[in-house]
Every structure is written in structure tokens, then in C-alpha cells.
Structure 1
């Protein structure tokens, strides 16, 4: 009884086998205890070490921005391509995992043949003098005993490759969210600059009319009128460039949404307010960064796949055992095909042991080990780059807020200066050149203020991207099958027109 039990345990241990190669352990990320130097100088909007809002774009309270992001997440072609790569990786994993189970095949055939009278034995018994029929059918099965874990390591590596593809999709989605928000903010900035330019154009036209009136009254010169006319023409010349930039940004958003050119003009040509951050915003905690940033998760998955591949390479040094068997029927007459005497079967193991490979197996193992070292270094590089990116964008955000506040004061003072200069010109205390100079300074400060406001919002979008926030709101549990939608049909028709 003890002998039977011992033999059973030995057989089970052989079937279970062992798994060669190093086991993967997620690398420890040496995250700082807290976010260093969040705001070195107090500013209007302060970050908080709280869980990141998944739908961070809604904190801008801009319905148009939220709608654009929702549509981009549904229709963007880059995102659909990344989704297709996820499906490919999962299909590959299914193919690799199939080696863990026995393969069963059913075959049947008919052959009309005639053997040589001088060759091998003729199964028909006619000595090669006449043709014969051969009917046969077989059910075959084979299964490799994964004694050394080669197949298990292959499946482990395939699982990691699926994670690589999934995090690649998340990275594409993260970039899509940031790019959509960034282009929208730039659009609102251009529209803000257009508004400032048109307002200054109205002031310049009023100054031109005033100069012409003073010229008729004999208290101004042709120089004043010429200078005023030149100012009007200069401002009018700025409008086409700004309008072109506005159209480019609308088209850029259309492309992100997989829409034809100019399809969003009706929605986006209406000027809107610049998306502004709230007084406080959450940026999470450092220890969670490795679970949020797709590039870090992707680098970890690549390291996992490289580690599992070492086990596959080591298992190739050991013998492989495959169990195979077949059962079927064979006969020369169709009427005898299902008879008991036509049965045949075969069963037995097959052993394969590498004896001499000319260094190929050792070379593959060294290659896999070197690839693992590269993946480990790449992981460290990605994590370090993430910390630098976050620190840089936090400083940029803080500096942008301070610059915006100072420019707002400059705009206020330049408006006072322009009003004063206009009054003094009317009174004859200064010439028109002073008015033009002050108006130019006002226009420059107003444009800089618009740009700085956009830069602050852009920096906040960049911060959310650096923190790896936002993709979680659209991360599906399973990827849908790819189908040709009506939108794709519309794009095709547009392309061939």
C-alpha cells in the first residue's frame, strides 16, 4: 500500500513538474514620501495630496470640453488601432495557452493506388498487378508533459504581453485626453487673442477718426493720420493669421474625433471662456504613481515578459516528453471499414533530448538574460523620468500662475495709461505717437495675459497626464470586437471624393 502511494505521488510530481527560471517580482519603486516643492510660492490654485479625480476635465466646468473628450474616446482612430493590438495580443495568448491541453485530431481519407510489383509488399495481395482502394480514419491525440515549465513560462510571458498591449492602449488614451484638452485650450486662447485684437482695432479706428477730425480742424497733422491709418492696417493684418490658426485647431480636434475637416466649425467657432482651474485640485499620493501611469505599468509588464522568457530558454536544455496515441479503422473495402477486424491503434511516449546544438541554446539563454537586464534598466528609466516630468510640470504650473497674475496687473495699468494718453492727445498735451506707443503696450500685455492663462490650463492638463489620471474613466473590462461603423463608412466616402 505504501509503495502504491509513493508511486502515485511520484507520478503526480512528474506530471506537475517544476518551473525553471526566475519568478517575477514587481520591482520596488522608491517613491518620495511626499510631493516635493508643490508650490514654492503661494498661487491662486493649490494642489492637494488626495485621490485624483478620474474625470479631471470636468473640474474645468466646460461642457464643450467634456463633450469633445467623450466623443474622442469613442471614435479616435489611434485608440481603435491600439484596441486592435490588444485583441491581437489576447488571441496570441490563447494560441500559446493551447499547448497546455492535449491536441485531438480526427482524420479520414480514401486513396486509389497501385504498388510496384518489384517494390515493397502490395497490401492488395495482387503483387502490384492491379490497383486497390484504401479506406482509413483515425482519431489522434498528443500532449506534451510540461515537466520543466516551458509552456507555463510561455503562457506567463504571453499574459505579460497582453498587459503591455493593454497599457499601450491606456497610454494612447491618456495622450488623447491631454491632446484633446490641449487643442481646445489653444483654440480658446486664439479666440481670446482674436477678441483682444478686434477690440484694439475698434480703438484704433476710433483714434483714426479722431485724427481725421483734428486734421480738418487744423490741430493735427498728416503724420498723425498716417500713423493712425498704419495702426489700423497692422491690426487688420493680424486677423487672417489668427483666423487661420483657429481653423487649424478646429481641424485638429476634428481629426482626433475621426471627423472630416470643418465638421466642428459650427460648434467651435462660437467663442467661449478659457477653461480655468479651480482653487484646489487633487494630485494623488506618490506611492500610487506606479499603478496609474500606463508607461510604468507597460515597462513592468515588459520586464515580466522578459523574466518569463528566461524560464522558457532554460527549459529547452531539458528533455521533452510527448504522449501520443491514435485509434481508427483501415480497410481495402468500404464494406469492411467499420468492421472490428479493421481497427488499429497506437500509443506511446516520445522523448526528445538535445545533445548538441552548437551553442544555440546557450546563446538564446544569454540573450534572454540580457533582455531582462535591459527591461529592468528601462523600468528604472521610465520611473525616474516620471518623477522629473511631474516635478517640472508642477514648477511650470506654479510659475505660470504667478506670471498670469503679474500680467493681469500690467493689463490694468496699460488700460489706464491708454485712457490718459488719449485724453492728453485730445487736449494737445502729447502727440499721437504717445497714444500709439501706449496702445501697442496694451495690446502686447493683453495677448501675453491670454497666452499665460492658456499656459496655466495647459500645464494643469500636462500635470494630469504626468500623474497618469483620466484613462481609468474609459478603461473597459473587455475589448469590444472591431466593426466597420457608419462613421468609418462616411470617412471612406469623404476620402475617395
Structure 2
């Protein structure tokens, strides 16, 4: 009974000491920027936006099957994302290795040999005969982790792994935006090229009409030269559009993990900018900061730095381990018998008395935590600044597109009026064709404005931290 009582007391003492994990327990500091009321406030919404939460697969708001297909393929085949996945798997392995430091260590060995032992080692002044020896044994040791050296390391590794996972999601966010950006560029340039071809056709008609009028002596030669110059300038626009279309297609091929010759043909067929099927959902500051992967990564790095203080402080205290071993050593025929056996049981304390070096490491860990908090605050403030800036750009580009759409309406009215005057014989063919050129130019200006709106939408989606799907992630396991 007395032995049992002593054992229970020892276990109770060990449990009490195990609860004495040194270093601060992590929590988001009250003075962190993310805790400010302004960080959680609604955004300055405007025309074309609503306060609804942003869906994870934001590109589905365009109702474009080709874009949906490109995004899904990129999220499985992109090389940057594959590299990020490998980093995440490595991080998970580091967590498992760190947790393994708290596992019991078991060592086994066995040897059979023919040898002649030293007689003097047995205090005999004679030569011993050659014999067959059997040697074997095993040891088990376990670190008690009384001051949390291992627990704080596990906390640190877990937080760093979660930061790596957030950075993997950041790659997904950027990738989704880049795929949409390249696709929109291809669609916009194809549409612009069609308009440029229409302008070229009009300019060619104007040149032909000018040449006929000059031949009839109704206009001077400079008028023909001016028409030739305008036609050549219109033709010179086409190579740039073709090059930008190809660049966009090759960019999509890269993002999809393909070679340039395997660019997506389905994207090549797009000749009109995709448009949102409903107002753009932007949420508020609180949902933004919870969703932005760079903010979550910075917060997890702060948690890891805080755990690092505990790691440094725990190294100021003794490392205590218990262990035991048993084995056999003797003649081969005596292996397994009591006279050849041995065993041991005990504890080991390892403690390097704290010096200025060890205490300086604690200070270094505390300073690293201050730095991580500053970086966390910066990530929060930058996320808010980027989102408000993207919203402002989107609103102003949207307003510009509305004005140019009205201007396009006026250009259509003017072209119709010019056509009626031409049919009534009040203006010449060149004037009528020039009116058509102005209409196409107005269409191109409105298209360019809509392209800027589409690009600003993508910028806003990127700032909002949308565009990733919760795919299976490597888990640290147990």
C-alpha cells in the first residue's frame, strides 16, 4: 500500500509540473489593428456593388462556362500551385517530426560473436579461451517535458504549418485572378480587333471614294494622301491586337500548366467581354480579414513567434527524462538465463545553467514577436487599403463606362442622321463614311472602358481575397 501511495504521489507531482508550461499563451493582442472598430466596418459600397459576402468561386458570377473550365483546370495543374502544395506537405512532415520528439525512444541491439575476452578485465592473470558470446538488450527513454520544451515547439510548428497553408491559399487567390485577367484580355482584344477591322474597311472605302473624286477633279491630291495615311494608320492597329491576343492565350497555357502550342482553343473563340450576372458582392471588413489568406498567414506567424518565446524560456530549465533498459551478456549458451541478464531503471537530468546567451535568446524571441505583430498589423491595414482602393477604382471606371455608353448612343444617333442626309443628297459619301468611322471609334472607346471595368473587377476580387476552393490539404496527422 505504501509503494502504491508513493507511485500515486509521484504521478500527481509529474502532472502538476507538466501543467507548468513556461512562456505566454497565445491570443490576438488587444491592441492589434484587427481589433479596431474601423477594421470591421462596412466598405464604401457604390453602384454595381452589394454588401453580400463574396462567394469562394467568384468567377461563377460571370456565368461563363469557358472561364469556369479554365479556372478549374488551373487550380489542379498550375505549376506554382503544385510547388506550394509540396511546401505544404513538407510543413506537415515538420509538424509530425516535432510531435515525435515527445514519443518514447526505443532502441534495440543484438550481437553474436566469437571472441576471446581480456583476462585482466576479470582480474585474472591468464589467457581466457575463445568463446561464443551473445550480447543483446533494449532501452526505453521518455522526456517528461515538465516545462513545456516540446509542447511549445509543437505549438510553434502547428502555427507555422497553418501559415504555410494560408500562403498556399494565397497562391490560389492570385492564380484565379490571373486566369480571369488573361481570359478577359483575350476576349477584349478579339473584340477590339473586330472593331479595328471595321474601321480599316471604312477607311479603305473613304480612300476609294477620295481617289474617284480626285480623278473627277473634285478634290485635291492632299485629300487623297490624307485618306491613305488614315487607312494605313488603321491597318497598323491590327498587328498589335493580334500579338496581344496571342500573348493572352500563351499566358493562359502557362497558367494551366501547358506548353504554348496547347493554348486553350475555347478561349480563342471569345470575342466579347464577360459581364457579371449580378452586382458585385463585397462583404465588410470583418469578413475580408477572415478570408484574406495573407492576413491569416501573418496572424499564424505571430502565434508561432509567441510560441517561440516559450521554447526559449523552457530551455532555461532542466530537461528531465526517465528510462530503463534490460539485456543479456554472456556465453551464447547462457543467453536468456538470469546469470547473463542485466537491467537498469532511472532518471536523467540535463541542465545547462542559464547564461547571458540563453537569456538573450529569450529577448530575441520576444523581439521577434513584436516584429510579427507589426507585420500582422501591416497585413491588416494593407488589406483594407487595397480593398478600398480597388473599390474606388471600380466605381470610377464604372462611371466612365456609363458616360461613354451615353456617348456611344449619341454617336449612333449622329450616324443615323448622317445616313439620312446622305440618302437625301445633302452630304457626300465621304462624309457618310466618316460618320461611320466615328461611330466605330465610339464603340471602341466604350469597349475599352468596359475592359477597364472588367479588369478593375478582377482587381477587386483579388483584394477581397476571393477565388480559392477548399481543396484537400496535407494534414500534419498525429
Say yes or no: TM over 0.5. Answer: yes
How many angstroms does 1:218 deviate by?
3.2
Which string of whole-angstrom CA distances, capped at 9 and with x for unpartnered residues, describes residues 69-111 of structure 1? 0110111111111111111111111111012221112222345
RMSD: 3.0
Which string of whole-angstrom CA distances, capped at 9 and with x for unpartnered residues, describes residues 412-431 of structure 1? 33455567678889969689
The equivalent residue for 2:366 is: 369
Is the aligned partner of 1:352 residue 2:350?
yes
The equivalent residue for 2:87 is: 85
Tell me if the contact between 1:31 and 1:287 (Cα under 8 Å) persists in the aligned partners.
no
Q: Secondary structure at the match of 1:237?
A: helix
The equivalent residue for 1:67 is: 69
Which string of whole-angstrom CA distances, capped at 9 and with x for unpartnered residues, describes residues 291-345 of structure 1? 21101110010000000010011011111111121112222x3333233322121
Tell me if the contact between 1:136 and 1:329 (Cα under 8 Å) persists in the aligned partners.
yes
- 1:48-197 to 2 correspondence within 5 Å? 48-111=50-113, 121=121, 127=126, 133-197=132-196
Is the aligned partner of 1:475 residue 2:470?
yes
Tell me if the contact between 1:31 and 1:286 (Cα under 8 Å) persists in the aligned partners.
no
Flag the 1:157–1:128 CA change in 2: closer, same or farther, 3 A.
farther
Between the aligned partners of 1:438 and 1:234, the Cα distance in structure 2 is: 18
Between the aligned partners of 2:29 and 2:253, the Cα distance in structure 1 is: 41
Flag the 1:234–1:22 CA change in 2: closer, same or farther, 3 A.
same
Give the alignment partner of residue 41 of structure 2, picking from 14, 34, 50: 34
Between the aligned partners of 1:114 and 1:335, the Cα distance in structure 2 is: 16
Tell me if the contact between 1:250 and 1:262 (Cα under 8 Å) persists in the aligned partners.
no
- 1:65-464 to 2 correspondence within 5 Å? 65-111=67-113, 121=121, 127=126, 133-331=132-330, 333-355=331-353, 357=355, 359-417=356-414, 444-464=441-461
The equivalent residue for 1:486 is: none
Flag the 1:285–1:300 CA change in 2: closer, same or farther, 3 A.
same
Which string of whole-angstrom CA distances, capped at 9 and with x for unpartnered residues, describes residues 26-47 of structure 1? 34522435324222xxx3x2x2
The equivalent residue for 1:494 is: none
The equivalent residue for 1:22 is: 24
Tell me if the contact between 1:59 and 1:278 (Cα under 8 Å) persists in the aligned partners.
yes
Between the aligned partners of 1:444 and 1:91, the Cα distance in structure 2 is: 59
Tell me if the contact between 1:15 and 1:145 (Cα under 8 Å) persists in the aligned partners.
no
Tell me if the contact between 2:114 and 2:132 (Cα under 8 Å) persists in the aligned partners.
yes
How many angstroms does 1:408 deviate by?
1.9
Between the aligned partners of 1:167 and 1:322, the Cα distance in structure 2 is: 36
Between the aligned partners of 1:366 and 1:298, the Cα distance in structure 2 is: 24
Tell me if the contact between 1:327 and 1:343 (Cα under 8 Å) persists in the aligned partners.
yes
Between the aligned partners of 2:250 and 2:435, the Cα distance in structure 1 is: 36
Flag the 1:143–1:424 CA change in 2: closer, same or farther, 3 A.
same
Which string of whole-angstrom CA distances, capped at 9 and with x for unpartnered residues, describes residues 264-303 of structure 1? 2522221332111244232223222222110111001000
Between the aligned partners of 1:428 and 1:237, the Cα distance in structure 2 is: 33
Which string of whole-angstrom CA distances, capped at 9 and with x for unpartnered residues, describes residues 5-35 of structure 1? 8835643434634110001013452243532
Tell me if the contact between 1:277 and 1:460 (Cα under 8 Å) persists in the aligned partners.
no
How many angstroms does 1:129 deviate by?
6.9
Tell me if the contact between 2:253 and 2:260 (Cα under 8 Å) persists in the aligned partners.
yes
Which string of whole-angstrom CA distances, capped at 9 and with x for unpartnered residues, describes residues 95-152 of structure 1? 11012221112222345556677xx6169x6856776554312111111111111111
Q: How many residues align?
A: 468
Between the aligned partners of 1:130 and 1:445, the Cα distance in structure 2 is: 109
Tell me if the contact between 1:389 and 1:466 (Cα under 8 Å) persists in the aligned partners.
yes
Flag the 1:419–1:203 CA change in 2: closer, same or farther, 3 A.
farther
Tell me if the contact between 2:202 and 2:437 (Cα under 8 Å) persists in the aligned partners.
no
Between the aligned partners of 1:221 and 1:420, the Cα distance in structure 2 is: 27
